[in-house]
A and B are shown apart, each in its own frame.
Chain A
């Protein structure tokens, strides 16, 4: 357990983003990690697939295409950033992928489940059991302690909490000392880490993060992002993150660019400079 924390710290210092821990080693160290085929760690199947996603808002006579035929897929263990200028449809895309919002047309699959067309109650259960969320702000319930907040989704689902995994996640996000504090007593960075821990605890099929570092200073922000990347790499956690910050996006394996509701570009193994340049180009175009 300890070695992983140290490792994460060392890697971030060296900055070698390409270093990967072999999957079979992870299997032995992570209890309850999502089952994946140890023989083909480089080509995991897509977890989320969206086809022809369209979302039209009718605001007083003018029809706005928030999404205009988006096709996108996300693979197991991949950490993907969705980027784009304001109003490009980033958040709408994420909401539709997560079953928070209903697209006007198109389909979204989570694993084998087509989530478009599910009723509200089914969507609720889907979110509860198979999806994790991290929001920009107001992530935590103010009357619950950090621990209660982390355990909340499991309690709602009446899932038995795997204490070992809980301990490990808490250790990874460094909240051991703060578990019994109310959110008001935690710093912004700590609050976001609680949210990350909550999203990771049940090892959901996909975690959606909406501007998770938007309200944080750069140091707390990089900590949170580092945890996200570690969990993607070491726990094979699929993560989809919406952001407008090129530095945040540079922590991801892949960045997809959105403009006027369309996917217009994609970068693998991004750096902050590369992402900024692409963004600038998008704004100019």
Chain B
């Protein structure tokens, strides 16, 4: 029996080419992902480990996590005494301490780098870090930067670098070297500057050491060193060997790689799913075409089980061969990915890692999917009656029967359930669970499409085909051919629908997000520039310590508030500014400028209410609510805000209605401020919490003297360059203030969305390529089936070109229907998904992108038809007429 199977495979191998390609592509992606991720991970580990293994023992300071939100991190630093003691140990030949603080680094334009100050560390002899280019800084006039930081700002060795000291005074340093900190987030996220220890202490006020690196003296193992150091330091500090330390760090940094792996595997799952559909269709068609062959086997005595096994054996062989090819291709892709993508992700020169798991997963996945997809056709094969051998093949000439009413009922039910789910997700309002519900709804709708597929194909062809029929005989025949086996056509098309739905859905979400943001920025909050202070040390959880003094001016207001807050424990509510402030002089300066229409400011505090919730209380100085700042309201008018009035967002309203009295709780002097509610806004918009009049705010929170953010609106006719110059001039004396042009922000945001979209589209492109293979294969098998028909048409005077055109039109029709259904589903569910998470979502269908998809579907159809059409046109008429 196996011999028959293999002989059959050899005979019909051309029929499997596209199937093999489909499986191969899916497996290639999966194995490629694994190899890529493994290689990347090894690369990361090497980079991270590399620095740690250069020393023998590492001692670090201890952090105690704060108990409450308002408690600072408790840090016990290593001290100079510790370092001296360690140096004195006989097991130790050398030890170096690394102190750490924060310093504001200015870029070439004199503005503070990053949204928060970079880390500042001291590196001296015996450290696990060393200068990769140039040399480490020595003395008060030299500085080194992390390689990535220097790259981002565009500094080179020899340049003069300006850093603000503790008094916010500018100090210039010469850049002497670059240090590669690898993928360690502590150093890579915000950037890192390097000084020698004395300069670091002077610049940042950092005390003690955060880490001491130790080199063993000859004849002592790492473990002995660790033990000796531990004894000196006592139980308060963690000591580990360089290798252990490296491994721990590698584990942490590997998380990114794992995330990447999961995302890529998700895409390969989609690809394999589509490949499964293609394989299923191929086997189903082949079984139908080989009915007589199988019946003959039954006639000569093969049992049902033998027929079943024969078909399954065929799928195993096809699956294994294709998977093996896929694994090989995947290793190639993984290598390419690591070579070209690795440097972008921070690893270089890593050697290819091929784990047995990657190979096994590829082989097993490909074969399993193939065999699984062949199960249904194989079962169908067992139902072939021996008598069928004597009849002429039903599939060759016949048309499939109509769609059963059960199918219709099931399909309609699926759509109804899906619609109900979408309705539910919309009714509940923005909710993190929304997309999950929408995804479920999309899956259910997809089941509906699968069930109703044949009917859909027939219905759509009837509509679309009507004008096509008039174009000419080839397109008329193509329209008729495309509905000959609607089930087959539907399956081929659905493979494409999967990809089209996902891409369109994603593009709709992406475009709607952008449109929503644009509306937010342009209509509701039409400002040109936004000025904010660089985040202070305490704004970054875990980074800041009490030992690090304030960055100065920018954060002084914060200091006051913090002091006040801790000093007023007896007051029921507590409040502190959410962000560091902007000196009022900046606003005053800006308000004098002619080119500016208006300079708004917002000030705010967060008040602890009776629960654990924080109530943000905000006021907009100079800003007219309902005019300069708008939001969707549940009720009331924003313009009614004035002294004694308050605007609340729904979530904080606590059931209050317009006209009610709302008590802003726990004020500084213990008095409640009773305000009349004039409007309730929808949640998760720009206006959040309680918005009150500046007069009330100043009376209630006299300690807050600085603005949290400034919003600059230029005059309509003002020259943009002049506006920019004016704004930048105003903040010239305050390097830590961050000026954001809203236009730039929008561009950056669009850019990020675009990059994400193209990446996702490229990943899903694979699923689409596989689906096109499926359509091509379906066409090729149909052409084989219709050889005699093609010969007849040729005899009756259809030219080769017309025959080719006929098949192209059929394939294009299939692709367009598949893509069309996908686009419709994608738009609907993209809208539903976006609306379920984005408050005040502005729906935007990316018309140009959708046009591109349709053009691509057309192209895909043409490509899918190339080989089958060549084959059909190339067949000799007399040979085809003589066969059978």
Chain A residues proximal to chain B, CB less than 8 Å: 91, 95, 98, 100-101, 120-121, 124-125, 127-129, 133, 135, 138-139, 141-144, 152-153, 155-158, 182-184, 198, 210
Contacts and interface: CB of A to CB of B under 8 A. Distances in A.
B141 to A, nearest CB: 86
Interface string B846-884: 000000000000000000000000000000111001100
B669 to A, nearest CB: 88
Contacts of B878: 91, 95, 100-101
Contacts of B797: 124-125, 127-129, 153, 156-157
Contacts of A129: 797
B791 to A, nearest CB: 9
Given A142-B399, A143-B481, A144-B480, A100 B799 contact: no
Interface in B463-488: 472-473, 476-477, 480-481, 483-484
A281 B788 CA distance: 35
Per DSSP, chain B at the interface is helix
Contacts of B483: 143
Interface of B: 397-399, 472-473, 476-477, 480-481, 483-484, 788-789, 792-800, 802, 876-878, 881-882
Contact of B800 (A98, A124, A128, A157): A124
A138 B789 contact: yes
Given A121-B799, A125-B797, A127-B797, A143 B476 contact: no
Contacts of A127: 795-797
A141 B878 CA distance: 17
Contacts of A153: 796-797
Nearest to B482: A143
Contacts of A152: 473, 796
A142 B398 contact: yes
Nearest to A144: B480
Given A124-B797, A127-B796, A155 B473 contact: yes
A168 to B, nearest CB: 21
Contacts of B476: 155
Contacts of A182: 399
A120 B801 CA distance: 11
Contacts of B795: 98, 100, 127, 133, 135
A161 B426 CA distance: 58
A156 B876 CA distance: 20
- Interface of chain A, main secondary structure: helix
B796 A133 contact: yes
B593 to A, nearest CB: 75
22 contacts: A100-B878, A100-B881, A101-B876, A121-B799, A124-B794, A124-B799, A127-B797, A128-B797, A135-B795, A135-B881, A139-B792, A142-B399, A142-B484, A143-B477, A143-B481, A152-B473, A155-B473, A156-B473, A156-B796, A157-B797, A184-B399, A210-B881
B153 to A, nearest CB: 68
B800 A141 contact: no
A144 B477 CA distance: 8
Contacts of B882: 91
A138 B796 contact: no
A157 B793 CA distance: 12
A184 B400 CA distance: 12
B102 to A, nearest CB: 76
Given A127-B796, A152-B473, 13 more contacts: A101-B876, A120-B800, A124-B797, A124-B798, A124-B799, A124-B800, A127-B797, A135-B795, A141-B477, A141-B789, A143-B480, A156-B793, A157-B797
Contacts of A155: 473, 476
Contacts of A120: 800
Nearest to A91: B882
Contacts of B802: 156
A184 B398 contact: yes
A201 to B, nearest CB: 11
For the complex of A and B, list the 6 residue pairs with the smallest distance between their C-beta atoms, beginning with the closest. A128-B797, A143-B480, A101-B878, A124-B799, A156-B473, A95-B878
A138 B397 contact: yes
A138 B884 CA distance: 10
Nearest to A195: B792
Nearest to B793: A141
Contacts of B800: 120-121, 124
Contacts of B399: 142-143, 182, 184
Interface centre among B789, B794, B876, B881 (most CB of A within 10 A): B881
Contacts of A198: 796
Contacts of B798: 124, 128, 156
A124 B473 CA distance: 15
A198 B796 CA distance: 10
Nearest to A128: B797
Indicate the member of B476, B796, B800, B881 with the most A CB atoms within 10 Å: B796
Given A100-B878, A143-B484, A138 B792 contact: yes
A157 B484 CA distance: 24
Nearest to B480: A143
B480 A100 contact: no
B795 to A, nearest CB: 5
B762 to A, nearest CB: 39
Contacts of B398: 142, 184
B673 to A, nearest CB: 80
Nearest to A182: B399
Nearest to B789: A141
Given A124-B798, A157-B797, A182-B399, A141 B877 contact: no
Contacts of A125: 797, 799
Contacts of B473: 152, 155-156
B785 to A, nearest CB: 11
A91 to B, nearest CB: 7
A100 B877 contact: yes
